[in-house]
Amino acid sequence: MRKIVSLVSLIFIFIKLESQEGGLLLTNFKESRDIENQNWAICQDINHVMLFANRKGILSFDGQDWLSVRIPVIPFSMKTNASDGRIYIGGENNFGFLRKNETGSYKYTSLSADTSGIGIITRVVMNDTVVWFFGDRSASRYNFVDGKLELTLRSKDENPFTGIIITPKNTFINVMNKGLYRIESDTLFPIVTGYITEKTDILFSLPYNKSKVLVGMNDGKLELFDGLKYTDYQIKDNGYLKDNVLSDGISLGDSLYAFSTLDGGALVVEKNSGIVRNTISNQNALPDDEIFAIGIDGSGGLWLSHQYGLTRADLNLPVGNFSIYPGIAGNLTTSIWNNNELYVGTSEGVYYLTEVKNAADVQVLIKSESSKTSSSKKTVKEPAKQGGLKNLFSKIFGKKNVPDKVNVSPVKEKPPVERVSVKSVSNSKTVNYIYKKIKK
């Protein structure tokens, strides 16, 4: 009981401090993994039910029950339209929408007319009147106000589409080895600065202000685009997104962005300042750093899909988790706040939380903890991490082999081996505080 009380005090005491913030409260849902462990798109319907797209169809969660919704296509992308209450879905050679019928069951309606050759619809984007169903082989525009499929553009085999941007005034399609084109009179019209992205994949575009959008690219760059010119978006992440392979981004209301990666979890960033507010990664209780999809609910919850299921990070709860910072060891026994510093007593000694002044502090700490792990008497077998730049859908169909149960087997004790992986060093860039032991 004493440990529980001490932990609670550790979490809540820093609500008073302006200079230090704890990590977000994470809720990990393993139940979804029992149904399907790779969810490729996340959204919430108008009835506040969370929906997750995967190879088996749609997985729904109303806060209590998990249900599978079978549809006649494999969904790769989806997005809710609050204007008409539909969930627009992109599949392979098919796209349409999901909506509840009179009995309360979800029903899929196809909107694609000639489905031959449109390929896999990897993104669904929309503005006030139209929905775009986008893939590397086609881009189709559906007017949900008039209920008409207005346009389908098809790419050439040697020049697939590599991104779509919707600005307040226009829509743009990026073409491999050609660059960015503006859609004008239902045709692709080249722009002067189009060549800048001819070798680049455009991952997403997000609203920034009345004239600009934020564009995310597969080389990790974030640029502000006004329809003609690009300017650098000054994100203060010390290269975190580039190092960990930027994969997607979403707007969190009017003041925040969230960016997911393939090797470093996700970042929550203040839109105007570019300051990283939160890092959500394996270092602070996220089960896996490889994020398949990212979404948000109406209660301020950020949802992340990964190999081990789903995780919800609460962005609104006024509670900070201070057990996420590295360096502390032993069982927690007590804690105290003194002169704007947190002191923690454990079975291994007394520690204090301090700001990271030098990245080497974190690297040395990771070396030390790796050494202790290497010398333990038991080893937990975990799936091997895949490295390198990976195409999202090659990963999806190249499924990892994750055991249903974690096997623990005895091994011979070995002398400690001190090492620091590239990933650990990279992730240390956003470790702002660490615990240090008070020497006797």
Whether residues 156 and 223 share a domain: the answer is yes
Residue pair 269/235 in contact (Cβ under 8 Å)? The answer is: yes
Task: Report if residue 16 sits inside a domain.
Answer: no
Q: Which of 314, 344, 366 is the last residue of a domain?
A: 314
Q: Which of 279, 314, 349 is the last residue of a domain?
A: 314
Q: How confident is the model at residue 401 (pLDDT cuts 50, 70, 90)?
A: very low
Whether residues 39 and 163 share a domain: the answer is yes
Q: In what helix (H) or strand (E) does residue 423 lie, and over which residues does it extend?
A: helix 422-427
Q: How confident is the prediction for the chain on average, in pLDDT?
A: 82
Helix boundaries (H) for 130-269: 240-243
Whether residues 427 and 371 share a domain: the answer is yes
Question: Lowest-confidence range among 80-94, 235-249, 369-383?
Answer: 369-383
How confident is the model over 389-403, as a mean pLDDT?
Answer: 42
Which pLDDT value is given to residue 35?
77
Task: Report if residue 20 sits inside a domain.
Answer: no
d(CA 222, CA 244): 14
What's 199's DSSP letter?
T
First to last CA, the chain: 28
Which pLDDT value is given to residue 429?
57
Which pairs count as long-range contacts for 299-303, CB under 8 Å and 24+ apart, including other chains?
Answer: 302/24, 302/252, 302/258, 302/266, 302/268, 303/42, 303/50
Which pLDDT value is given to residue 337?
79
Whether residues 149 and 255 share a domain: the answer is yes
Whether residues 272 and 355 share a domain: the answer is no
Whether residues 76 and 176 share a domain: the answer is yes
Which pLDDT value is given to residue 114?
66
Tens of pLDDT along 333-360? 888 878 878 888 888 889 888 877 766 6
Task: Report if residue 153 sits inside a domain.
Answer: yes
Tens of pLDDT along 415-429? 444 333 434 444 555
Tens of pLDDT along 282-330? 988 899 999 999 999 999 999 999 999 999 999 987 777 777 777 888 8
Q: Which of 285, 314, 343 is the last residue of a domain?
A: 314
Whether residues 54 and 160 share a domain: the answer is yes
Task: Report if residue 409 sits inside a domain.
Answer: no
Distance of alpha carbon 88 from its chain centroid, rounded? 20
Whether residues 356 and 433 share a domain: the answer is yes
Whether residues 338 and 225 share a domain: the answer is no
Burial of 422 from C-beta contacts in 10 A (0-12 / 13-18 / 19+): exposed
Whether residues 223 and 353 share a domain: the answer is no
Which pLDDT value is given to residue 255?
95
Specify the 3-state DSSP secondary structure of 321.
strand
Task: Report if residue 7 sits inside a domain.
Answer: no
Task: Report if residue 10 sits inside a domain.
Answer: no
Whether residues 263 and 364 share a domain: the answer is no
Phi/psi of residue 373, each to 5°?
-65, -40
Domain with residue 136: its CATH number is: 2.130.10.10
Task: Report if residue 325 sits inside a domain.
Answer: no
Question: Lowest-confidence range among 169-173, 204-208, 432-436?
Answer: 432-436
Domain interval for residue 243: 25-314
Task: Report if residue 433 sits inside a domain.
Answer: yes
Whether residues 89 and 236 share a domain: the answer is yes
How many domains are there within the chain? 2
